[in-house]
Chains A and B, each alone.
Chain A
Amino acid sequence: MNTMNDERFFDLAMKVIAQQATDAERAELNSSLAEDPKLKVEFERLQAETKLAKEVVPLLAATESTAGEFPAYARGRLQTKVRETLGAHRTPLQDAEKKSAWRWQWILGLATATAVMLFLLIPVFTPSDKMIVQVAMLDTAGSTRGANANEITALQKLGTGSTVQSFSQSNELAVWENDWPRKEKQPIAKIIYDRAAGEVRVLGRWDGKPFQKTFLVERDLETTLREAETFILEQTGGGHRKN
């Protein structure tokens, strides 16, 4: 870039590329390009880089966008994808299983006396324990647009005598969902009605084995809850008892 000051060249190149140059500026640049082949190469490079910048910069802005609310209806579909792909909602159970596996490894690594202990423990962990059914509702819309009385009644029928836990924040629900009885063989079912997603989730374990399923509320909540109950009965071999 001998014939023209770098800064002047760059500014003229930018104006020409952005179609903002006057005739005089365009002529000045053309003359310099004709005189110096290196400047011509540099100008072509700047054109290519500008083309890239015009694509990339709006994409960067979009990447960092914070405007727009995540639509509530999308949650059910996406959480289903999470469950199918990553095994979500089974996490607490998987954790319990992992812990159990560690315990087993530890136990199996010990002497024969431990094996005797294990033998003694087996009867304690039988599925003969009373089935626990816990029911919760996630209603992110809040009380003003909250569940109607029929929905509450339908949910209350599931856990006899127990209160239906109501959550407005999904993280609070997650804490509740992750709270499992310490006793690993304790039969339990958690039924969660996610009002915004329009789904009922069932998580549970029977005889130490986890089970789960999601039911979309297609017709009405009562019908879906019946499907959920049938599923629990299937999983527990009919041993599902309300407490």
Chain B
Amino acid sequence: MNPPALKLLQQGDAAAWDEAFHWLWPTVFAVAQLKLQPFLPSDIEDVAMESLEELVEKVREIKTVEELKPLAASIAHHRAVSRLREQFAAKRGAGKTESLNALLGNEENPFDPASGDSTLAKLGQTELARLLGELQSEIKPEQRAIITDFFLHGLSYEQISAKHGVAIGTVGVYLKRGLEAMRRAGERHPKLLKELEAFLR
């Protein structure tokens, strides 16, 4: 599916928006799902829809159609995080103090809205959108697949090498390039760098 014409979207053209909603729905849904599936699965569609509504409000602020998906993703991410925070704040208010990690049974979960330690949640909506746009072009899909397999799926260098049909040395190279992209992103985004430095202390 091709991206719709930005000018028509900014003019409020109904047919262009129909196309845009079909094109952007998988993005906002997948981002909302990423955050909400373990805790608030019934809120996923609602957050996805609210994200598209917010995107409509912001469409006149963007300059190229390529910015649409990262912005939609950023909006959905922030909305999902807010929804989780509200949910857990309400639980705390009701005397229920268990953390998300405890609920997950996973102390290594990189995101814990209860403690607010998500690095990305500290970025503003526009800054996160820009970061996503930059990383989309910097980290190639094969590098992403290897990073995901190594850090999130727990596969070894050997297993990744066999799965992707690349040399074991290439696995390390891809991981290194991926992390270098993170380093450059930190340098470009001062808030992100601050968060990374805070983690180092």
Are the CB atoms of B27 and A65 closer together than 8 Å? yes
Contact B132 A63 (CB under 8 A): yes
> Which residue among A7, A55, A70, A71 has the maximum number of chain B CB atoms within 10 Å of its CB?
A70
Question: Size band of the B side of the interface?
Answer: 35 or more
Type the 1/0 row for A149-183, where 1 means its CB is closer than 8 Å to any CB of B.
00000000000000000000011011101000000
**Chain A's nearest CB lies how many Å from the CB of B154?**
7
Say yes or no for B30: interface residue by CB 8 A criterion. yes
B89 contacts partner chain A, Cβ-Cβ < 8 Å? no
B199 and A64 within 8 A (CB) = no
Count A/B pairs, Cβ under 8 Å.
Answer: 189
The answer to whether B56 and A85 touch across the interface, beta carbons within 8 angstroms, is yes
Across the interface, do B172 and A11 meet the contact criterion of CB distance under 8 Å?
A: yes
Q: Are B199 and A171 in contact (CB under 8 A)?
A: no
Report yes or no: B18 in contact with A170, Cβ–Cβ below 8 A.
Answer: yes
Q: Which residues of B contact A68 (CB under 8 A)?
A: 25-26, 29-30
A35 CB contacts on chain B under 8 angstroms:
none
CB-based contact A74/B21 at 8 Å: yes
Interface locus among A42-50, A125-133, A234-242? A42-50
Complex interface residues of chain B between 69 and 83 (CB less than 8 A to chain A): 69-70, 72-73, 77
Contact, CB under 8 Å: B120 / A20: no
| Known contacts A58-B152, A60-B139, A62-B30; is-contact A49 B118 (Cβ 8 Å) | no
- On whether the beta carbons of A51 and B110 are closer than 8 Å, the reply is yes
Would you call the interface of chain A mostly helix, strand, loop, or mixed? helix
The answer on a CB contact under 8 Å between B27 and A63 is yes
Residues in B171-201 with C-beta less than 8 Å from chain A: 172, 175-176, 178-179, 182-183, 185-186, 192, 196-197, 199-200
Chain A 51-75 residues near chain B, CB threshold 8 A: 51-71, 74-75
Question: A120 near B: Cβ within 8 Å?
Answer: no
Query: Is A91 an interface residue when CB atoms closer than 8 A count as contact?
Result: yes
Shortest distance from the beta carbon of B157 to any chain A beta carbon, whole Å: 7
One of A26-34, A76-84, A108-116, A217-225 at the interface: A76-84
For A55, A82, A83, A88, which residue has the most chain B Cβ atoms within 10 angstroms?
A82
| A205 interface residue (CB < 8 Å to B) | no
Q: Report whether B21 and A88 are in contact in the complex, using a CB–CB cutoff of 8 Å.
A: no
What residues of chain B lie closer than 8 Å to A51, measured between beta carbons? 110, 119, 196, 199
Is B98 in contact with chain A by the CB < 8 A criterion?
A: no
In the bound assembly, the distance between CA atoms of A211 and B73 in angstroms comes to 35
A90 — which chain B residues lie within 8 A by C-beta? 12
- Chain B 5-21: CB-based contact to A (< 8 A → 1; otherwise 0): 00001111111011101
A171 and B144 contacting across the interface, CB-CB below 8 Å: no
With A65-B27, A83-B12 as given contacts, are A52 and B21 in contact (CB-CB < 8 Å)?
A: no
Is A86 an interface residue, CB under 8 A from the partner?
yes
- A18–B111 Cα distance when bound, in Å, is 16
- Asked, given contacts A63-B70, A85-B56, whether A52 binds B192 with beta carbons under 8 Å apart, the answer is yes
Residue interface mask B84-113, A partner, CB < 8 A = 1: 000000000000000000000000001100
A53 and B151 in contact (CB under 8 A), knowing A62-B73, A88-B17? yes
Q: Shortest distance in angstroms between B169's beta carbon and chain A's nearest beta carbon?
A: 8
B147 within 8 A of A: yes
**Chain B 131-173 interface 0/1 with A at a Cβ cutoff of 8 Å (1 = within):** 1100110010000100110111010110000000000010010
New contact pairs (13) apart from A11-B172, A86-B11, CB-CB < 8 Å: A49-B186, A51-B110, A51-B196, A52-B186, A53-B179, A55-B120, A57-B144, A57-B148, A58-B34, A60-B139, A62-B30, A65-B26, A66-B26
The 7 closest A-B pairs by CB, nearest first: A86-B12, A174-B15, A88-B12, A65-B30, A62-B30, A70-B25, A63-B73
Residue contacts A-B, CB under 8 angstroms, 9 given: A51-B119, A52-B119, A55-B111, A56-B132, A57-B147, A74-B45, A86-B9, A86-B10, A173-B15
